[in-house]
Structure 1
Amino acid sequence: MASSQNNQDTVHPSSDPSIYHEYESKWSTLPSDSTGWIQRAKDVAAVLAPDAAAREKANRTPRAEVALLKHSGLLKILGPKEYGGGEQPWSVAYQAIREVAKGDGSIGMLLGYHLLWAFSSSILGTPSQITKWTALITSQNLFVGGAVNPRDSDLVITTDPNDSANIIFNGSKHFTTGAAVSDLIVLEGSLSSSSFPESGGEHIFAYVPTTDPGITFSFNWDAIGLRLTESGSAQISNFVVSWEDALGWDASTKQPLPDVLGVPFATLLLPTIQLVFTNFYLGIALAALDLAAAYTRKSTRPWPYLSGGERETVAPAEKATDEFYILSTYGTHHAHLLAATALVDRANERISGLFAAYAGNHTRDNRGEVTALQRGEISELIAAAKIVVTDVGLKVTSDVFEVTGSRATASKVGLDRFWRDLRTHTLHDPIAYKRREVGRWVLLGEIPTPTWYT
Structure 2
Amino acid sequence: MVEEGAPAPVSKPRAKPPVLTADRAIPVAREIGIDLAEGAAQRDAERILPTAELDRLSASGLLAITVPAEYGGADLSTETVVEVFRALAQGDPSVAQIPHSHFVYVNALRHHATASQKEFFFGEVLRGKRFGNAQSEIGTKHVRDIRTTLTTYDGGYRLDGKKGYCTGALFADWIPVLTHLGVDGPLHVAWVERHAPGVTVTDDWDGLGQRTTASGTVELEGVDVRHERITPFHLTFEAPQTYGAFAQVLHAAIDAGIARAALVEAASFVRTKSRPYPDAGVERAADDPLVVHAFGELELQVRGAEALVAEAGRAIDRANAVLTAESAGAASLAVAAARASTTAASVDVASRLFEVSGTRSALAGLNLDRHWRNARTHTLHDPAAWKVQHLGHFAVDGTLPPNHGQI
| Fold shared per TM-score above 0.5 | yes
Superposed, 1:117-266 pairs within 5 Å as 117-138=105-126, 140-149=127-136, 151=143, 153-163=145-155, 166-193=156-183, 201-248=185-232, 262-265=238-241
In the TM superposition, residue 432 of structure 1 has moved relative to its aligned partner by 1.8
In the TM superposition, residue 54 of structure 1 has moved relative to its aligned partner by 0.5
> Residues 399 and 235 (structure 1 numbering): CA distance in 2 closer, same or farther, change over 3 Å?
same
Asked if 1 retains the 8 angstrom alpha-carbon contact of 2:240 and 2:324, the reply is yes
In the TM superposition, residue 172 of structure 1 has moved relative to its aligned partner by 0.8
SS of the residue 2:277 aligns to = coil
TM-score relative to the length of structure 1: 0.82
Q: Distance in 1 between matches of 2:374 and 2:388?
A: 22
Deviations 1:79-133 (A, max 9, x none): 2467554332221111111101111010111233322222220133234433332
Superposed, 1:35-184 pairs within 5 Å as 35-80=23-68, 85-138=73-126, 140-149=127-136, 151=143, 153-163=145-155, 166-184=156-174
In the TM superposition, residue 75 of structure 1 has moved relative to its aligned partner by 1.0
In the TM superposition, residue 452 of structure 1 has moved relative to its aligned partner by 4.3
**Residues 1:373 and 2:326 aligned together:** yes
> Residues 158 and 78 (structure 1 numbering): CA distance in 2 closer, same or farther, change over 3 Å?
closer
Matched letter for residue 297 of structure 1: R
Deviations 1:257-313 (A, max 9, x none): x7x774223xx3222111110001001110110111111111111012x3xxxxxxx
**Residues 1:282 and 2:270 aligned together:** no
1:197 matched to which residue of 2? none
Matched letter for residue 239 of structure 1: V
Runs (5+) with no aligned partner, structure 2? 138-142
Asked if 2 retains the 8 angstrom alpha-carbon contact of 1:154 and 1:189, the reply is yes
Asked if 2 retains the 8 angstrom alpha-carbon contact of 1:160 and 1:240, the reply is no
Q: Distance in 2 between matches of 1:152 and 1:231?
A: 18
**Residues 1:353 and 2:318 aligned together:** yes
**Residues 1:440 and 2:405 aligned together:** no
SS of the residue 1:185 aligns to = strand
> Residues 263 and 244 (structure 1 numbering): CA distance in 2 closer, same or farther, change over 3 Å?
farther
Bigger CA radius of gyration: 1
SS of the residue 1:264 aligns to = coil
CA RMSD of aligned residues (A): 2.5
Q: Distance in 2 between matches of 1:339 and 1:221?
A: 32
Asked if 1 retains the 8 angstrom alpha-carbon contact of 2:132 and 2:169, the reply is yes
* Aligned equivalent of 2:289, options 324, 340, 353: 324
In the TM superposition, residue 445 of structure 1 has moved relative to its aligned partner by 1.8
Matched letter for residue 34 of structure 2: A
* Aligned equivalent of 1:426, options 369, 372, 379: 379
Identity %: 29
Q: Distance in 2 between matches of 1:453 and 1:261?
A: 11
> Residues 82 and 276 (structure 1 numbering): CA distance in 2 closer, same or farther, change over 3 Å?
same
1:196 matched to which residue of 2? none
Matched letter for residue 240 of structure 2: P
Asked if 2 retains the 8 angstrom alpha-carbon contact of 1:225 and 1:417, the reply is yes
> Residues 127 and 373 (structure 1 numbering): CA distance in 2 closer, same or farther, change over 3 Å?
farther
In the TM superposition, residue 61 of structure 1 has moved relative to its aligned partner by 3.1
**Residues 1:333 and 2:310 aligned together:** no
Q: Distance in 1 between matches of 2:226 and 2:382?
A: 32
Matched letter for residue 388 of structure 1: S
SS of the residue 1:402 aligns to = helix
In the TM superposition, residue 389 of structure 1 has moved relative to its aligned partner by 1.1
Q: Which stretch of structure 1 is more off in the superposition, 403-412 or 217-226? A: 403-412
* Aligned equivalent of 1:394, options 326, 343, 347: 347
Asked if 2 retains the 8 angstrom alpha-carbon contact of 1:59 and 1:227, the reply is yes
Q: Which stretch of structure 1 is more off in the superposition, 412-421 or 293-302? A: 412-421
Q: How many residues align?
A: 401
Q: Distance in 2 between matches of 1:435 and 1:6?
A: 46
Asked if 2 retains the 8 angstrom alpha-carbon contact of 1:17 and 1:65, the reply is no
In the TM superposition, residue 328 of structure 1 has moved relative to its aligned partner by 0.4
Q: Distance in 1 between matches of 2:230 and 2:240?
A: 19
Asked if 1 retains the 8 angstrom alpha-carbon contact of 2:71 and 2:119, the reply is no
Q: Distance in 2 between matches of 1:247 and 1:218?
A: 25
1:295 matched to which residue of 2? 269
Q: Distance in 2 between matches of 1:141 and 1:418?
A: 30
Q: Distance in 2 between matches of 1:436 and 1:127?
A: 39
> Residues 82 and 4 (structure 1 numbering): CA distance in 2 closer, same or farther, change over 3 Å?
farther
Q: Distance in 2 between matches of 1:28 and 1:436?
A: 43
Matched letter for residue 147 of structure 1: A
Matched letter for residue 5 of structure 2: N
Asked if 2 retains the 8 angstrom alpha-carbon contact of 1:143 and 1:182, the reply is yes
Asked if 1 retains the 8 angstrom alpha-carbon contact of 2:316 and 2:328, the reply is no
Asked if 2 retains the 8 angstrom alpha-carbon contact of 1:155 and 1:188, the reply is no
